[in-house]
Structure formats: structure tokens, C-alpha cells
Amino acid sequence: MRVLVTGSAGFIGNHVALRLLGDGHEVIGIDNLNPYYDVDLKRRRVERLVPNKNYTNCQIDINDREALDEVFKNHQPDRVVHLAAQAGVRHSLTAPRDYIDANISGFLNILEACRNFGTEHLVYASTSSVYGANTGMPFSEHHGTNHPKSLYAATKKANELMAHSYSHLFEFPVTGLRFFTVYGPWGRPDMALFKFTKAILKDEPIDLYNNGDMKRDFTYIDDIVEGVVRCLAQPPQIDPAWHSDHPDPASSGLAAYRVYNIGNNAPIELMEYVAILEKTLGKKSLKNYMPMQPGDVDVSWASADELIQDMGYTPATSMEVGIQKFVEWYLDYFEIKI
């Protein structure tokens, strides 16, 4: 297939593009290399893709409609994996317009391009954050998601609604993937594992929100990628069992629409997570206990039943293995010896 991947210089997008190339597909990568975090890290991710003869790099912004349409027109992608977004709950408290621009206006441009250029299937990134104030565990795609606790989550919920309307009106399949706390090599510097590793190695304190009393369904990057690739290969269909009297938010009787959780289905206590990292680094951390941050949640826990049933796949990388692989990458990338 010819697959267009947005956010190809990002953490998840880069891994997905590399996997698709390895599977023999042609990949067109889009990224604007924005400075939300270290641009050099993004450039070095792209360098992993460029040598492949089946990769085309396009440095454009998805908010540039003319440039985006030109890429679709020139390359005519069969399928699209949309991973470009403004991420991060805390950043949305101080820079809300970044989220409207990238996650609402940018996503509309992607939907319009898919509509106008005959895309066979759009797979896009949602987030576990859409579950918001819901405390029914584990989180299921069949739960309601109408109480987001951050603007970031609200924009991702909006993406799911926008995708449904376009799939219904213009008859192309869409799949939304709710990622749960992704970690691993080439990860984002604003994520906990990256920040904790950096701080511990420098003998600086790590910030533990809610006084460390949190649980997360940490999901290793390879498990995320496997889920993305499998979903991309299986476009959803209209659900014949869906009924308007009791509408299931996970599917639709009006559109070829589906949402899936991709999570490890095994939440880990934050303090256990830190202990595994300390053991891997062979070094104890200094801890700075802090109150809960606005927009954050105490616990995330994915039900992976739908992914297992429909895609025959269970994310299963252990925290010990995943953290070990991240630390090995981190030490190599920054040329650190311990």
C-alpha cells in the first residue's frame, strides 16, 4: 500500500512509518518539526526513515491546506495514519490555541483531504484522556466519554465525533485509536520516563504528582505500533447490531466507524514504575512529592477486549523489558556511560 503518515518525526509516527517501510509499503511522511520539544530529536528520527527508497519526506504543516492537498494530489495515498497533533495535558493549560489549531483545524484538513482524494481508510490517534472523569475500570470503548478533564482530551473527543460525521456523510472508513501512556526508545522528552531518567542520572529530584499515588496503563511503543498496523489493514464496517435506541459509542450503524483502546490492560503503580527504573539504572531517585495537577487523572486502565477480539492481538510487553529497552536507547543516544 501507499500510506501517508502524519507526525512522522514524532514518537509514535516515526515508529509506525519505520514498521510500514519494513513491511514493504510505500510511506509518505508529513511533519512540520515544530519546537514543542527538541527539534534535533525529531530530525534524527526522520534520519531513520530517509534512507529507505520507499519513503518520501514532506516538511509541511497540516494547517497549510494547499500544501496538504498538494501532497495528497501528488501521492494519492491508499490509506492515512494521522498521528500529528499537539500533545500533552499540562501544555493545554497554558497554550490552548495550539490544540485548536493542530487538533481541530488540522484534523479537519486531514478529513477534507481524505474525502477529496479517495482515501480507503483513515486511522487516527485519539487518547485515553477522553475517559476524563469516568472512574469505571477498566476503561471500555463502550463507556461514555462526555466529561473530559482537559482541553487536550476535549479536542481528541472532538476528533472522534468529526471522524464519525465524515465517515457517515462521505462514506470512507475511519478508525480511532485511544493510546494509553506510550513509552519506549525515541520517546518524547516531556513524558515521565524520559524526564525521570534524565533527572536520576543528574542527581536531580523527580516530580511525583498526587504525592506519587497514581496508576497508569503504560504501553510499550512496539505494542502500540502492532495495534496501529493491524487496525490499518482492517477497515471497519457499519455495525449491523448498532441501534439508535441505545447507541454504542464504540461503533456505528450509520458509518464505517470504530474506536479501539490500545493499552497494556495492566495498570502499574507510579512508585513501582519508579522502582523498576531505579533498578534498571542502578541508582536511587530523589523524590519531590507534589499535588495533583489540573486536568490529570488518578488512574488509567485499558480494557483491550475489543482489540483482542477484532485484531487477534494483545499488547503484552512487560514494564521491566520496556524500561530496559528505553534506558539502553537513552544511554546510547546521549552517549552516557554508567
CA angle 18, 22, 26 (to 5 degrees): 80
pLDDT confidence band for 89 (50 / 70 / 90) = confident
CA distances from 74 to 54, 70, 208, 219 (A): 15, 6, 48, 36
Which CATH superfamily includes the segment(s) 2-185+218-265+301-316?
NAD(P)-binding Rossmann-like Domain (3.40.50.720)
Task: Supply the pTM of this predicted model.
Answer: 0.97
Tell me which residues are annotated as active site: 152
Q: How many CB atoms lie within 10 A of CB 186?
A: 21
Whether the pLDDT of residue 251 is over 90: the answer is yes
**Amino acid, single-letter form, for residue 107:** F
Whether the pLDDT of residue 272 is over 90: the answer is yes
**Residue pLDDT, tens place only, 101-133:** 999 999 999 999 999 999 999 999 999 999 999
CA distance 70 to 55: 17
Please, what sign has the CA dihedral across residues 186, 191, 197, 203? positive
CA distance 175 to 239: 13
**Residue pLDDT, tens place only, 222-231:** 999 999 999 9
CA distance 259 to 282: 40
